[in-house]
Structure 1
Amino acid sequence: MSNNTLANDSRRHDFDALRAVAMLLGIALHASISFIPGPGFWAVKDTQSSDVFAILMASIHGFRMPLFFLISGFFTMMLFRKRGMQSLLAHRFKRIFVPMLIGMFTIIPATWIVSSMVSGNNESTAVAAADSTTADLRMSAAHGDIDRMKTLLGEDVDVEFPDKDGVTPLMLAALFGEAEAAELLIENGADVLARNHRGESVRDMLAAPDGVTKWVGGLIGIDVDQKSVATGRREIAELLPEVNDDGLATKTSTPQRPASGAGVIAALTNIPLFGHLWFLWFLCWLVIGFAILLSAGRSLGVPPPPRWMSVSTGSYLWLIPITMIPQAFMGRGELNFGPDTSIGLLPMPSVLAYYAIFFGFGAMYFDARDDEGVMGRRWAWTIPLCLFVLFPVGLMSSQETNGLGRFVSVFVQASYVWMLSFALMGVFRRFLSKPSKAMRYLSDASYWLYLVHLPLVILVQAWVRDWNVSPFIKFPLVCVVTSGVLLLSYQLLVRHTPIGWLLNGKPPHAARKSGRVNEFDRTETAGRFGGESNTGANGDAESESRLDSLAS
């Protein structure tokens, strides 16, 4: 594709708006978690709850981040075509890596502190919503509440009842070294060979790194003492059988800790280093992969993919099957709909591969030039199909772990995310393809809002937690208060400061005052509020890259 052709491209205001909405939906998603019934690892557990919020969270989670990575791949290819590889990598370093690095030393610690504060000082936390540490069998096992466990087991509570990640009461007892609780569970028939949805066994829990144990303990109100946990784990190890090559239990003996290499890999994968900023870390990997593959392809003379693969209904023929592969390695629990989340230093291979598919398609889609709006033009019937057919079927089948039911679950989840993503692309192209100052402002602000929202969301959730008010009033209140405070902070503290310039580029007047108006500054700030650049055809084309300041 020639530069002259690219120079005539129109700005994708629709993609800019869609990317902003995808980011802001993350605030709604996290705001909903405290209102989901049952135990969990969230810092706040509201006294009012409804299954509606579990459904809402699953429906958003099933498409939001894949769609974001698709858009990011689109804008990544846009920058490469307009600026070249060196400028692309410099831009991504500035817009992605630097904010991520700063956030790891500011936002993430703040989230941990707030979570610990609200879960440790209030009796209606995620663990204590019902009765202090006695919310259910899993939490009682984690806390070592033997009396409550005996009561629950006497009421025929399922000793194997797992959470949405497949974690059983015995696994939690093992994680926190609660030997007496583990022995009681085993005596009542707990499966010592059970595995969660990540394939981790009770024995694996005994070897969990201290960092993971402390983090989980902080979320559910357990003050972890390393010596006590280590002692309890050794006692539990004596209760577990050896397992032969066929996975069958043999005699009882003390298991060996995993090889040091495996332990390091487990720690790098599971310690929650990035928190909700994991997507920035993934984008770093994907941009590097993009650069390597594109450079290798050009050196080897690999032809571009045919246009039908990214601009026709035939796209589904390869997108859905290839997406099913990593999806098959991910969540299988109740209401565990959509991709897993990987927040460690080492990305989980299945999760990284999953998002790489969407990122790669976005790059292909830019080159394919969908000027006619083929992808998503049937949104009027696709959206109802996704929300009222695919989503319910996928949600129900997500509990299936093997056989035909598992295949249906994986197929439907892959179909849901692609069809809904394309449908939303069609909706935004139809209604938000024209410049809008309001949407432009919201787009710029959305990066800041998402980066820093989590500590404030948790604080507001804790504020309303004990109100005897419907959760359908509390939930929008949490969203509105959080978003309002963050928008105010963006306007007063971020927008016209170096923080805002780091996230969204420096506006023309600020660049002129600093005496550093160069080509990079002009392309970063052209058309800030949706208007077109006045620098001519070539400047107009370059101004499109301004849209990617958050899709990075």
Structure 2
Amino acid sequence: MLTATNNRRHDLDALRACAMLLGIALHAGLAYATFGWAVTDPSQSEVFNWFFFLVHGFRMQLFFLLSGFFTAMIYQRRGLKFLLNHRLKRVALPLLIFTPILTPLVEWVLRMARTKQGNAEVFNSVTNVPWLETFNFHHLWFLWFLCLMVLAFALISALPKPRISKKWINSPRCLLWLIPLTMLPQLWMTRAYPLYGPESSLNFIPIPYVFFYYAIFYGFGAILYHFGDEVVTKHWKLKLLIALCVLFPSGMLLEWWSLYNVPTLQWVSDLLQVSFSWLMIFACIGLFREKLSQPSPKVRYLSDASYWLYLAHLPLVFGLQLAILDWPLSSWVKFLLVNLFSFSLLLISYHYGVKGKILGKLLNGK
């Protein structure tokens, strides 16, 4: 999905796949968090709250940054016409094909879940609301965002390019402007969505500040391609340690504290949240650059499969969560079962129904 040349960045391909697969595990764990989900299992643990916010705090930001990086790579090597054709096949067509299939399927499973849990009346659709305001892409919203961002990239590519010093891109100095810039939409999101991490925009008309937030990561990824990612990802172990052990827990605790006790401290939590996102992204790129730069058939297989796995996973995960809802098992056992069966079934469907077939050529170009 992300590359179109023989000179692959195997590490970033693998990292993109990891971001996709983490999304499946994230959705699998939400039924067992304590704040409620489409399927709310009676067996819950606050550990899944922390797991969700940890992954949610950087995963999609990382994905959009990588998308911007590879967009710039394709544009530089093959030109704008090839780029638009490539994104049409890999992004726009899958969106057009899978939205009318998966959206009704997800809605159907959701209705079953709400009926079984006795809260269907809470989710009854509102009448007299314009279609554009009620249409829901669900987990495919990122494809719609990518279509819009590619169009914006094409328009910007025709403009004169300002001179930018490398030290403000491929060095720790980039955080001096990336963090304040990212805080602007984060402040808006937190006030509309008072939980840790970014808001999602699932409708046809994007929420402006959500789109701007992810566009920052996409745009920086495109810029980073031209300047290289060697320096900014150095000392990834230290970045990972600071992100996981300092920024994330302090941001979570302060988010909770500011929400219930001192709302004026919310901006400090926002600062910690966006700092966590950037350090985690740079740490992950550095980690994969060091460990997975060389080609590996197994990693390449998962990288190719991850696109299909993520596209198809949500109704299956919903269905599995609902199927074992009444089983007298711990949340941990149920979480493992949902992941085991969903990944197994999705991989089987990829291997026998997608790989090497017309659908596989559409999603991966082969």
The answer, yes or no, to whether TM exceeds 0.5 is: yes
| Aligned CA distance change for structure 1 residues 473 and 223 (closer, same or farther; 3 Å) | closer
Decide whether the 8 Å contact of 1:375 with 1:423 is kept in 2.
no
Quick one: distance in 2 between partners of 1:405 and 1:281?
Answer: 34
Decide whether the 8 Å contact of 2:38 with 2:110 is kept in 1.
yes
Listed one character per residue, the Cα deviations across residues 142-176 of structure 1 (whole Å, up to 9, x for unaligned) are xxxxxxxxxxxxxxxxxxxxxxxxxxxxxxxxxxx
Decide whether the 8 Å contact of 1:47 with 1:467 is kept in 2.
no
2:222 is equivalent to residue 222 of structure 1: no
| Aligned CA distance change for structure 1 residues 225 and 46 (closer, same or farther; 3 Å) | closer
2:66 is equivalent to residue 59 of structure 1: no
In the other structure, the counterpart of 1:249 is none
Listed one character per residue, the Cα deviations across residues 7-65 of structure 1 (whole Å, up to 9, x for unaligned) are x9953111000000000000011111110124x3x331112001111110011000000
* Range with greater deviation from structure 2 (374-383 or 107-116): 374-383
In the other structure, the counterpart of 1:282 is 145
DSSP 3-state at the match of 1:331: helix
Alignment of 1:314-333 (within 5 A): 314-332=173-191
Quick one: distance in 1 between partners of 2:192 and 2:93?
Answer: 36
In the other structure, the counterpart of 2:277 is 417
Alignment of 1:40-51 (within 5 A): 40=36, 42-51=37-46
DSSP 3-state at the match of 2:158: helix
Quick one: distance in 2 between partners of 1:397 and 1:15?
Answer: 33
2:105 is equivalent to residue 110 of structure 1: yes
In the other structure, the counterpart of 1:380 is 237
Q: CA deviation at 1:384?
A: 2.1
2:34 is equivalent to residue 37 of structure 1: yes
In the other structure, the counterpart of 2:65 is 70
Quick one: distance in 2 between partners of 1:430 and 1:17?
Answer: 12
In the other structure, the counterpart of 1:11 is 8
Q: CA deviation at 1:346?
A: 0.6
In the other structure, the counterpart of 2:159 is 296
What is the identity, as a one-letter code, of the residue corresponding to 1:366?
Y
Listed one character per residue, the Cα deviations across residues 279-301 of structure 1 (whole Å, up to 9, x for unaligned) are 0000011111111111122xxxx
In the other structure, the counterpart of 2:92 is 97
DSSP 3-state at the match of 2:204: coil
Q: 1:85 aligns with which of 80, 89, 114?
A: 80
2:311 is equivalent to residue 311 of structure 1: no
In the other structure, the counterpart of 2:353 is 493
DSSP 3-state at the match of 2:40: coil
Decide whether the 8 Å contact of 1:111 with 1:455 is kept in 2.
yes
Decide whether the 8 Å contact of 2:62 with 2:217 is kept in 1.
yes
Alignment of 1:417-496 (within 5 A): 417-496=277-356
Listed one character per residue, the Cα deviations across residues 460-487 of structure 1 (whole Å, up to 9, x for unaligned) are 1112211211111111211111011000
Same amino acid, percent of matched pairs = 44
2:217 is equivalent to residue 358 of structure 1: yes
Quick one: distance in 2 between partners of 1:304 and 1:436?
Answer: 38
Listed one character per residue, the Cα deviations across residues 352-404 of structure 1 (whole Å, up to 9, x for unaligned) are 0001100011001110123xx21222121221211121111211222436764
Listed one character per residue, the Cα deviations across residues 306-354 of structure 1 (whole Å, up to 9, x for unaligned) are 2122210101111101000010100358971111000111100000000
Quick one: distance in 2 between partners of 1:341 and 1:67?
Answer: 15
- How large is the RMSD of aligned CA atoms in angstroms? 2.2
Quick one: distance in 2 between partners of 1:422 and 1:308?
Answer: 16
Q: CA deviation at 1:223?
A: 7.5
Decide whether the 8 Å contact of 1:43 with 1:116 is kept in 2.
no
What is the identity, as a one-letter code, of the residue corresponding to 2:219?
G
Listed one character per residue, the Cα deviations across residues 477-518 of structure 1 (whole Å, up to 9, x for unaligned) are 111110110000000111121111100013xxxxxxxxxxxx
Quick one: distance in 1 between partners of 2:124 and 2:363?
Answer: 40
Decide whether the 8 Å contact of 2:239 with 2:283 is kept in 1.
yes
The TM-score normalised by the length of structure 1 is: 0.62
Decide whether the 8 Å contact of 1:27 with 1:450 is kept in 2.
yes
- If asked which structure has higher relative contact order (CA below 8 Å, sep 6+), I would say 2
In the other structure, the counterpart of 2:21 is 24
Listed one character per residue, the Cα deviations across residues 167-194 of structure 1 (whole Å, up to 9, x for unaligned) are xxxxxxxxxxxxxxxxxxxxxxxxxxxx
Alignment of 1:162-241 (within 5 A): 220-222=119-121
Deviating 4+ runs (over 4 angstroms): 223-226, 332-335, 401-404
Decide whether the 8 Å contact of 1:332 with 1:398 is kept in 2.
no
DSSP 3-state at the match of 2:280: helix
Quick one: distance in 2 between partners of 1:356 and 1:319?
Answer: 12
Quick one: distance in 1 between partners of 2:42 and 2:281?
Answer: 34
Decide whether the 8 Å contact of 1:22 with 1:64 is kept in 2.
yes
Decide whether the 8 Å contact of 2:247 with 2:276 is kept in 1.
yes
What is the identity, as a one-letter code, of the residue corresponding to 1:383?
L
Decide whether the 8 Å contact of 1:334 with 1:398 is kept in 2.
no
Decide whether the 8 Å contact of 2:193 with 2:199 is kept in 1.
no
What is the identity, as a one-letter code, of the residue corresponding to 1:377?
K
Quick one: distance in 2 between partners of 1:484 and 1:491?
Answer: 11
Decide whether the 8 Å contact of 1:390 with 1:412 is kept in 2.
yes
The structure number with the bigger radius of gyration is 1
DSSP 3-state at the match of 1:118: helix
Alignment of 1:531-550 (within 5 A): none
Decide whether the 8 Å contact of 1:335 with 1:395 is kept in 2.
no
Q: 1:389 aligns with which of 246, 250, 263?
A: 246
Gaps (5+ residues) in structure 1?
1-7, 129-219, 231-259, 507-552
DSSP 3-state at the match of 2:251: helix
